[in-house]
Amino acid sequence: MNRFIVRSVMQSHLSHGRSISNGHVCSSAIVERSLELSGQHNVVTLVRFEWRRMMSSTPASVGNASSGREEKMENSVTEETKGKDSSALSYWGISRPKITRTDGTDWPWNCFMPWETYSAELSIDLKKRHVPKNFVDKFAFWTVKLLRLPTDIFFQRRYGSRAMMLETVAAVPGMVGGMLLHLKSLRKFQQSGGWIKALLEEAENERMHLMTMVELVKPKWYERLLVLTVQGVFFNAFFVLYMLSPKLAHRIVGYLEEEAIHSYTEYLKDIESGAIENVAAPAIAIDYWRLPKDARLKEVITVIRADEAHHRDVNHFASDIHFAGKELKAAPAPLGYH
């Protein structure tokens, strides 16, 4: 009976795989031989001993090697995680080359690059106005004047918050116009005359105005909620308007920029009078407009106002092209104006 039990145990382990070492098999054979020589009591003791050996973990040398490999793997994973946190490596092997400023320091911005920066054209005529000449012009002019009323009532002379709201709206038309011209170019297999890039450049410039104003104003929760509401309404309304009448859409934007120039001029007056503190310029504004390191708020508002004057001229120009019965591609786009 005991011989049968021993053989059953050995055959069971051998049938579940050949993972038991030769040493264990030989030991089992020794157990079977001991059954013939020593009697039942000794056999049971040796079988129990051998069973414990076979069911135990791997030998100490193998266990130490495994634990060593596990520690190395954990260390490598930790080092790899640290590397990903510090350099943000991509699975596809795409990484941005090291970019520096002109003084050799690291470029800190991901939202724009050094070759996208510029010095604003401050000599632009700020007093130029487009006089309404026909029904479309008058409709655009009075629409903008009407839209200004709730802004004046809500913000009063808080020109920082007013500018934040203004830039949220002003960054929409260029994106809408550029997008629709892009789709038109794809549908008709024709060039845009550079106007797609010009309008998207305008939208990006207005967005950078907003990023700068957010650093200065730190908008409250209800102002952020107002931005969401206004942007949602204005985007859809302007999209439909541009589809129906691009000349009216550009004329409205031209008049909006005229109002922006007026608002920033009043902003500067309050800074000069001391009503608004002339704080240090945000770092993002210094790098984007290539301002001096010690630039103040006054310099930032001055360059933003100059940008708005460029947008005014470009949108009135685009509207005039449409009024002449031509498409925008008929006239070269003013690229690089910001």
Domains of the chain: 135-330 (1.20.1260.140)
| pTM of full prediction above 0.75 | no
The distance in angstroms from the start CA to the end CA of the chain is 98
* Section 14-36 average pLDDT: 43
By CB atoms closer than 10 A (0-12, 13-18, 19+), residue 32 is middle
- 169, 231 in Cβ contact below 8 A? yes
By CB atoms closer than 10 A (0-12, 13-18, 19+), residue 70 is exposed
Name which residue leads in pLDDT, 323 or 51. Answer: 323
Phi, psi of 106, deg, nearest 5? -65, 140
* Section 282-300 average pLDDT: 95
Residue 172 has pLDDT above 90, yes or no: yes
Query: Confidence band (pLDDT; 50, 70, 90) for 87?
Result: low
Residue 5 has pLDDT above 70, yes or no: no
Query: Confidence band (pLDDT; 50, 70, 90) for 149?
Result: confident
* Section 188-217 average pLDDT: 92
- Maximum alpha-carbon separation in the chain: 123
Burial 197-209 (b: 16+ CB within 10 A, else e): bbbbbbbbbbbbb
What lies within 8 Å, CB to CB, of 302 at 6+ separation is: 120, 122, 268
d(CA 259, CA 263): 6
d(CA 47, CA 55): 12
Tokens of 16: 């579940």
Name which residue leads in pLDDT, 135 or 161. Answer: 135
Q: What is the pLDDT of residue 18?
A: 43
- Of 79, 25, 90, 33, which Cα lies nearest the Cα of 53? 25
Q: What is the pLDDT of residue 217?
A: 85
Between 7-11, 132-136, 183-187, the lowest mean confidence (pLDDT) is in 7-11
Q: How many residues does the chain have?
A: 338
Kindly write down the DSSP assignment for every residue of 169-185, as one continuous string: HHHHHHHHHHHHHHHHH
SS3 106: strand
Write out pLDDT tens, residues 228-283: 888 889 999 999 999 999 999 999 999 999 999 999 999 999 999 999 999 999 99
Q: What is the pLDDT of residue 110?
A: 86
Residue 81 has pLDDT above 90, yes or no: no
Query: Confidence band (pLDDT; 50, 70, 90) for 92?
Result: confident
Measure Cα distances from 234 to 151, 225, 226, 231, 242 in Å: 14, 14, 12, 5, 12
Write out pLDDT tens, residues 57-80: 444 444 444 455 555 555 554 455
- 170, 235 in Cβ contact below 8 A? no
Residue 195 has pLDDT above 60, yes or no: yes
Residue 204 has pLDDT above 50, yes or no: yes
Query: Confidence band (pLDDT; 50, 70, 90) for 10?
Result: low
Count Cα neighbours of 150 within 13 Å in the Cβ-side half-sphere: 8
- 178, 196 in Cβ contact below 8 A? yes
* Section 303-318 average pLDDT: 95
SS3 234: helix
Query: Confidence band (pLDDT; 50, 70, 90) for 154?
Result: confident
Place of tokens 């973990």: 57
